[in-house]
Structure 1
Amino acid sequence: MKKIMKAAVAATLMLSMTACGSSDGTSDANTKVGIIQLTEHPALDASYEGFMDALNEAGYTEENTSFDYQNASNDLSNCDTIADKLVSDGNDLIYAIATPAAQSVAGKTSDIPIVVSAVTDPAESGLVDSNEEPGTNVTGASDLTPVSEQIDLLKQLLPDAKKIAIMYCSSEDNSILQAELAQEAAQKAGLEYEIATVSDSNMIQQVTESLIGKVDAIYIPTDNLLAEGMSTVAQVANANNLPCIVGEEGMTENGGLGTYGIDYYELGKLAGQQAVAILNGEKTAAETPIAYLPAEQCTLTINKGVADELGITIPADLLESATVIE
């Protein structure tokens, strides 16, 4: 009986050791990763895909890792409910996509590591002590876009433009920051500007219509609410010969004239690589600086179909270097 019991204990220990780690030491069979995404639109979806690919490539797959993906459908109360769930479930790491989602989950835990993406300025958003030295349980990859270059693009595509609207959601910290940068860039470019804000999706059509006849173009940064409602903006604006320069490629696909912006899939991969280092015990969130994509990973995208609809001639040199949407 003693021999049988010893054998049983040994077998149990062996199974326990097997369950706690993979053969290459990169993953734990009990690893739990929670994911909260603010809403569904191409940029945030790409950030999720890039993150998952980075973890899968590092050995964290569905075979040995539990992934709990939750989408808040752009509802802040949903963000809080999801954040409570992900924290109470005891996840080893939480990936938060977009500023409101990140703020919700960071307000629920100071212990679970949180990696964010599609957050323009984590320090300004109250998520970290500083972007260089987070000092909290939060780190991640910023989606700070080249706003001044986007305003320059507007000038190249629309050389006769004199006054623009800077349109954004007044409740998104990331959008407020980019709008301030856009104001500075517009002044330097010799453009007048008018501020146009929305606070919910029901306002998008009305605010867009209010700009007709007042401005020559609309600039929209990487704003989550307007990215989700870009087709509404474009339907009104393009029908009234009011071109939109936007913050990212997905918004261009949905009716914007063009953008010079970051690749959100690569942004997600960058965040995923940070998460891998944390899960592997190589780093902590507190000591991992906020990461930024290099300038060479920014891409020029032109919607030629919209340009043709509005009678805008795109300079040949821009077309040659751009991703062109027909």
Structure 2
Amino acid sequence: MKRNRLWLLLAAFLSAAVLTACGTGEENADDSSSSEENAGGEQSAGEEEADSDQVYTIGATQIEEHPSLDAAYEGFQAAINDSGLEVEFKYESAQGDQNNAITIANNFVADGVDLIFANSTPSAQSALQATSDIPILFTSVTDAVEAGLVEANDQPGENITGVLDLHPDAITSTVAFIEENYPGATVGLIYDAGEANSVAQINAVNAAIEGTDLSTAEATVGNSSEVQQAATSLVGEADVIYIVTDNTVVSALESVIGVAEEQSIPLIVGEPDSVKRGGFAAYGFSYYDIGYRTGEMAVEILKGEKTTADFPVEIPPNLDLYLNKAAAEAQGVEWNDAWDEEAELVETEE
């Protein structure tokens, strides 16, 4: 009897131990699950905080420094800053050297920047050569197709697109202005034959002149130090000088202005910033504005809302005639009173 009672007590004890062990395991499993959920929740909150505090890095590459390109970069930065994004800008100028532009682009890729802003055709070409992964946004590019940046303006690259610095009517409007005011004139053209941006424009000028009574005389340069000599070579041949948006020539525009004033040759330029520097006339737009628009694209790309493939290559939204009355007088231009109503008058900046 005692033995039976002993066995019953032992069985009861073993049953209680098993139940206790099972209960502990279930509680531990619940605690583990709860801990994982909490860890997941904390990680999610951390990720959200990281996203809101993320600092992006943009590599800005520019072939050289002159007012138009500088204005485009200022507009680009303004759009980024207006968006509220935290961005660190790494700016590099190639100082007019294509080899420097290639090195800059490769360094940006090595640094792992989040986006490259390529301000000029050579800068965009160098960036695209350096990477097919990092998004590239260009501006101050005249012909993205001719430069090999995209297949077509409505077919942006997998990692590249941007805003052009040539309105489709700019050259034809300029040629029409020259023909109207200087019929039968020989138009002097100075450009860097090694810059695709410039060659495309010169081809467009020659195409626009076909069928008119105008003719052209060309002088090419390889660097900015050759610009004054090229301008001087046109004296006695050119009735008007027309400088397209060639980075090499525009960076040394004062050399051309000096020749134009000394020889009383009207100087037509490709954009308003060059009119402010002493050019007589230009059909153009604000480089700040095209830079700003490029910056708006960058914001959407950095936020992950769009990719470069979602943005067709864009053109400047407006085209206006800009005239500098003081420059006209210095270059022996007879002022047409109708221009006061037709054009936006610009003063020379000191």
- Indicate whether 1:207 and 2:238 are aligned: no
Match of 2:61 in 1: 36
Cα RMSD for the two superposed structures: 2.2
- Alpha-carbon shift at residue 15 of structure 1 (Å): 8.0
- Indicate whether 1:291 and 2:314 are aligned: yes
Match of 2:78 in 1: 53
- Indicate whether 1:67 and 2:89 are aligned: yes
Match of 2:241 in 1: 218
Q: Which of these two proteins has the greater Rg computed from alpha carbons?
A: 2
Change (3 A) 1:235 1:113: same
- Indicate whether 1:125 and 2:147 are aligned: yes
**What does 1:237-252 correspond to in 2, within 5 Å?**
237-252=260-275
Match of 1:25 in 2: none
- Alpha-carbon shift at residue 29 of structure 1 (Å): 1.4
Is 235-244 or 208-217 further displaced after alignment?
A: 235-244
Match of 1:85 in 2: 107
- Indicate whether 1:21 and 2:51 are aligned: yes
1:263–1:299 CA contact under 8 A, matched in 2: no
- Indicate whether 1:187 and 2:194 are aligned: no
User: How far does the alpha carbon of each residue in 1:107-141 deviate from its partner, in whole angstroms, 9 at most, with x for none?
Assistant: 01000000000011112111122211123210000
Partner-residue secondary structure (3-state), 1:48: helix
> Hey, which of these two has a bigger chunk of helix by percent?
2
- Alpha-carbon shift at residue 255 of structure 1 (Å): 2.3
- Alpha-carbon shift at residue 287 of structure 1 (Å): 3.1
Which of 158, 162, 171 is 1:147 aligned to?
171
Partner-residue secondary structure (3-state), 2:60: strand
Change (3 A) 1:121 1:270: same
Q: Distance in 2 between matches of 1:310 and 1:35?
A: 37
User: How far does the alpha carbon of each residue in 1:287-325 deviate from its partner, in whole angstroms, 9 at most, with x for none?
Assistant: 32101122xx22322121121123322222222332322
Q: Distance in 2 between matches of 1:127 and 1:29?
A: 30
1:134–1:290 CA contact under 8 A, matched in 2: yes
**What does 1:306-317 correspond to in 2, within 5 Å?**
306-317=327-338
Q: Distance in 2 between matches of 1:214 and 1:222?
A: 22
TM-score calculated relative to the size of structure 2: 0.83
Which residue identity is paired with 1:317?
A
Change (3 A) 1:282 1:10: closer
Partner-residue secondary structure (3-state), 1:118: strand
Partner-residue secondary structure (3-state), 1:292: coil
Is 221-230 or 301-310 further displaced after alignment?
A: 301-310
Q: Distance in 2 between matches of 1:323 and 1:271?
A: 27
Change (3 A) 1:197 1:17: same
1:165–1:193 CA contact under 8 A, matched in 2: yes
Where does structure 1 lack aligned partners over 5 or more consecutive residues? Answer: 23-27
Residues matched between the structures, number: 311
- Indicate whether 1:108 and 2:130 are aligned: yes
Q: Distance in 2 between matches of 1:45 and 1:189?
A: 36
2:257–2:279 CA contact under 8 A, matched in 1: yes
Which residue identity is paired with 2:194?
S
Which residue identity is paired with 1:41?
H
TM-score calculated relative to the size of structure 1: 0.89
Partner-residue secondary structure (3-state), 1:283: coil
Where does structure 2 lack aligned partners over 5 or more consecutive residues? Answer: 1-30
1:50–1:265 CA contact under 8 A, matched in 2: yes
Q: Distance in 1 between matches of 2:319 and 2:228?
A: 30
Q: Distance in 2 between matches of 1:219 and 1:17?
A: 56
Change (3 A) 1:65 1:313: same
Partner-residue secondary structure (3-state), 1:32: strand
- Alpha-carbon shift at residue 181 of structure 1 (Å): 0.8
Q: Distance in 2 between matches of 1:49 and 1:299?
A: 21
Which residue identity is paired with 1:89?
D
Change (3 A) 1:38 1:16: farther
Is 183-192 or 229-238 further displaced after alignment?
A: 183-192
Q: Percent identity?
A: 37
Which residue identity is paired with 1:76?
Q
